[in-house]
Amino acid sequence: MRRVVFNQKGGVGKSSIACNLAAVSAAEGYRTLLIDLDAQANSTHYLTGLTGDDIPVGIADFFKQTLASGPFAKKGKVDIYETPFDNLHVVTATAELAELQPKLEQKHKINKLRKLLEELAEDYDRIYLDTPPALNFYTVSALIAADRVLIPFDCDSFSRQALYGLLQEIEELKEDHNEDLEVEGIVVNQFQPRAALPQQLLDELIAEGLPVLPVNLMSSVKMRESHQACKPLIFLDPRHKLSQQFQELHQLLESGE
């Protein structure tokens, strides 16, 4: 299973969802890998506690290899970092990804990540991909490489308009590059059940037939505490309501196997 968590709108909790689902996967015994493709490296920091020059070069080194030429060039290898949590590994991101992007686009290296994931799938039961909040080279590479896409959504009108465009872009990419890609659903994040407007918007999306999942992730200060501790919720406080919602979401996604 190769799942990409993506929305081109920022601030919807993409990295938090990717990391916490990966952590639940690892806690349930699946050998799990998260690949961070965002130059901001939020997932990398969340799962490792590392920042700046302490972060291993990770996925940037793999992409540099794809650009290298000559008989002695190293090809297709990636360094994997072992997190403090059992069964959970990460391929780290660094700011260097932003510098590499135009070179990779120029050289048409859009299918290299898919080949890497096909190899990594031999060692991992579950692979998660965290992407930048933009439909750029790295995100398109992830969507081509994955077999599932999960779309985080926060309940406001700007997100709603962006959602329609995003679903259309995914459908076009599926037709052109990856016919096996499945939209698993839209997961509502930072949900406030007592507020009327979010519930109204959610009901309207469901009425339109959009694939909204039946598990909503609540808004909680516990998530910020989790970020600060660099410890996913399942390991920080497994009994917290938000932790249980992530477990419920993971179970729902796994039931679609």
Residues 6+ apart with CB under 8 A from 58: 36, 44, 78, 79, 81, 90, 91, 92, 93, 94
pLDDT band at 8 (very low <50, low <70, confident <90, very high): confident
Strands 88-91 and 2-5: unpaired
More confident residue, 128 or 161: 128
Residue 152 phi, psi dihedral angles, 5° rounding: -75, 145
pLDDT tens figures, 100-112: 999 999 988 999 9
pLDDT over 90 (residue 123): yes
Residue boundaries of the structural domains of the chain: 2-249
pLDDT tens figures, 178-198: 999 999 999 999 888 777 777
Q: Tell me the CATH number of domain 2-249, given options 3.40.718.10, 3.30.2320.20, 3.40.50.300, 3.30.70.20.
A: 3.40.50.300
Query: Could you say which DSSP state residue 122 is in?
Result: T
The full length of the chain comes to: 257
pLDDT band at 160 (very low <50, low <70, confident <90, very high): confident
Rounded-to-integer distance, Cα 123 and Cα 128, Å: 14
- High-pLDDT (> 70) share of the chain, %: 96
Alpha-carbon dihedral sign for residues 137, 171, 150, 12: positive
77-96 mean pLDDT: 96
Residue 151 phi, psi dihedral angles, 5° rounding: -110, 110
Q: What is the pLDDT of residue 120?
A: 96
pLDDT over 60 (residue 36): yes
Q: DSSP letter string over 26-48? A: HHTT--EEEEE--TT-HHHHHHH
pLDDT band at 139 (very low <50, low <70, confident <90, very high): very high
Q: CA triplet 57, 108, 116: central angle to 5 degrees?
A: 50
